[in-house]
Amino acid sequence: MKLTVNGTEHTLDVEPEMPLLWALRDELKITGPKYGCGIAQCGACTVHVDGMAVRSCSINVGDVDGDVTTIEGLGSPEALHAVQEAWVEHQVAQCGYCQSGQIMQAASFLDLNSVPNDAEIDAAMSANLCRCGTYPRIRAAVKSAAKKLNEA
């Protein structure tokens, strides 16, 4: 089967029922999406399929209909995405395990809502768990990224 990930088309010899997360990590060696819970409840495995945030642990690779973007493909070789810049600026990460999923969720959310308020940010990010509790920094980074994206 063919799968386009971060702009590159790949041919995979896997069962269509394989979770996208395993195809990315085990077959393509793309390790940004993390295994957290395996039941789409923590968000550590979040990637984009045609720009929409999805939990890669709960979608079968055979059901993917569109281009996949992981944290590795979010920015460009020349520049970080505005959300990635904001994460660095606000020093969001502590242990860092959930951060690729957090960033991918935030980027997809900001594509849908470019001027979010605190309640909207909290609601959009609530399904991405952070064991370290950096939620105030996550909210600040999302607000900062929104501002940067609106200035561009």
Instruction: Pinpoint the residues of the chain covered by CATH 1.10.150.120.
Output: 82-151
Work out the pLDDT band at 17, boundaries 50, 70, 90.
very high
Tell me the per-residue pLDDT of 98-118, one tens digit each, with 9 for 90 and over: 999 999 999 999 999 999 999
Spatial contact of 82 and 58, defined as CB atoms under 8 Å apart: no
Confidence (pLDDT) at 141:
98
Mean model confidence pLDDT for the chain: 96
- Superfamily designation of domain 2-74: Beta-grasp domain (3.10.20.30)
Residue 152, pLDDT > 80, answer: no
Work out the pLDDT band at 77, boundaries 50, 70, 90.
confident
Tell me the per-residue pLDDT of 33-65, one tens digit each, with 9 for 90 and over: 999 999 999 999 999 999 999 999 999 999 999
Residue 73, pLDDT > 90, answer: yes
> Candidates 3.40.50.300, 1.10.10.60, 1.10.287.3610, 1.10.150.120; correct CATH number of 82-151?
1.10.150.120
Instruction: Pinpoint the residues of the chain covered by CATH 3.10.20.30.
Output: 2-74
